[in-house]
Amino acid sequence: MTNSGAPPPGATIVQYAAQSADGTQQFFVPGSQVVVQAATGDMPTYQIRAPTTGLPQGVVMAASPGSLHSPQQLAEEATRKRELRLMKNREAAKECRRRKKEYVKCLESRVAVLEVQNKKLIEELETLKDICSPKTN
DNA sequence: TTTACATCACGTCAGCAGGG
DNA sequence: CCCTGCTGACGTGATGTAAA
């Protein structure tokens, strides 16, 4: 995930590190929303709203590697990467469980259908046996 | 009402598979 | 080979339920 330019207004921030005009790095809380965006010169500016929902909406921005120097910045970057990975895995696990539940539900309904079908076939077999078996009296 | 147990949903980690 | 997504396994907290 790399910085691919300006996030559109309305986008929800997953992870975003920006370098402001004075050169300082800014990190925004995941879940924040871009509400205003303006391009002044070659540096776009944004207004970030406080997080509302906790859920990511797909916009991922990262600090450019060249802008990280101090051990503290490197540590922050490592932490940021870990949090991003955990967040993605969290969502992936939820989705995985949802799919699995759906799959199990599907299997259960198929079992129900096959059980009914099997019962009917057994009944039909018994009927045919009765018809085809020689009369004893 | 309290307690013990079962079930569920979740977060995290580890390992694997596929893509670039 | 590295990165990323998927998924099984494990631990944990919340909630429901039956028995004392």
pLDDT of residue A136: 60
CA A97 to C1' B9, whole Å: 10
Higher local confidence (pLDDT), A27 or A119:
A119
State both tokens at A35: 């509400």
What's the whole-model pTM score?
0.59
Residue A93 Cβ < 7 Å to strand B: yes
CA A60 to C1' B19, whole Å: 20
Which bases along strand B come within 7 Å of a protein CB atom?
9-14
pLDDT of A123 strictly over 70? yes
Protein contacts of strand C with Cβ less than 7 Å away:
A 1, 88-89, 92-93, 95-96, 99-100
pLDDT of residue A137: 61
Alpha-carbon distance of A106 to A13, in angstroms, equals 36
Alpha-carbon distance of A105 to A92, in angstroms, equals 20
Q: Which amino acid is at A97?
A: R
**With the C-alpha atoms ordered A28, A15, A85, A75, is the resulting torsion angle positive or negative?**
negative
Alpha-carbon distance of A35 to A48, in angstroms, equals 6
**With the C-alpha atoms ordered A2, A29, A59, A87, is the resulting torsion angle positive or negative?**
positive
CA A59 to C1' B12, whole Å: 24
Inter-residue contact A59 to A15 (CB < 8 Å)? no
* Count of C-beta atoms within a 10 Å radius of residue A87: 17
The secondary element (H helix, E strand) that includes residue A95 is helix A71-132
Inter-residue contact A47 to A33 (CB < 8 Å)? no
Q: Which amino acid is at A23?
A: G
Residue-wise pLDDT for A60-92, tens only, equals 333 444 555 678 888 888 888 999 999 999 999
Q: Which amino acid is at A131?
A: I
